[in-house]
Amino acid sequence: MNGDRVKIHAETAPVERPVILLVPTRTSDSVAWMRPDLLSRLVPFTIVAAAVWTIWQPRWLGLGPGRLDVQLGFGLPGAVVFFAASCLLQVLISPFRGSLKVPASSADMGLQAGYYFLNAPIEEVIFRGLLQGGLTALAGPAAGILAGTAAYVLYHRLGGWKWIDVAATALVGVPVALAFWLLPGPPSLLGITLVHAGATCGFLGPGPWLLRKLGVISS
């Protein structure tokens, strides 16, 4: 009997959830990294893209609206899907990382969301427009997709991202690279920019904030 009781107790013992260190961030914390990031990365990216467009105005850069029905039909639902998928991915990989930054207030969450919506089109014009579009025009879609996606994924390592997070960016980089090539109509960054912004907001800032509010993650 005692053996049976021990066995039953072992079978019904609750499974411990992995411990994740939630690191709260405030608006002052976000501004502290956004300011140098803006000056060292987003402004130079914008200058390069603007120079290419001003001098050559290449169609493959994707700065036109393309077919709006196609771009919005892909981008709007795609942003929602990738936001949810990125939230789920964060839940899955945070225990391996051991920590997760979470906005401590709705103000910081909103600030981060705004910055990620600024970041998305600027990154897309460099990695998808300039690299993928330019190389596709010169050497074909395979070369463009490979170079643009590899550069997009690996450059996150330069920002100090852990390898597990760097690898996660491929789950966005590959689909948007294919979409930029395959969506019908003139080349456009509109749809993939919406998807990129949704994915980033799901993985950073708003996504973790929502997960904590819903009690999906906790310290």
List, for residues 36-85, the tens digit of each pLDDT value. Answer: 999 999 999 999 999 999 999 999 999 999 999 999 999 999 999 999 99
Which token pair is 89?
A: 């991915």
Give the position of tokens 């973790």.
208
Residue 218 pLDDT class (50, 70, 90 cuts): confident
Q: What is the pTM assigned to this prediction?
A: 0.90
Per-residue exposure over 144-163, b if at least 16 CB sit within 10 Å of its own CB, e if not = bbebbbeebbebbeeeeeee
CA distance 124 to 164: 22
Residue 101 in 3-state DSSP?
strand
Contact 127, 147 (CB under 8 A): no
Q: Where are the domains of the chain?
A: 20-213
How far apart, in whole angstroms, are the C-alpha atoms of residue 115 and residue 85? 20
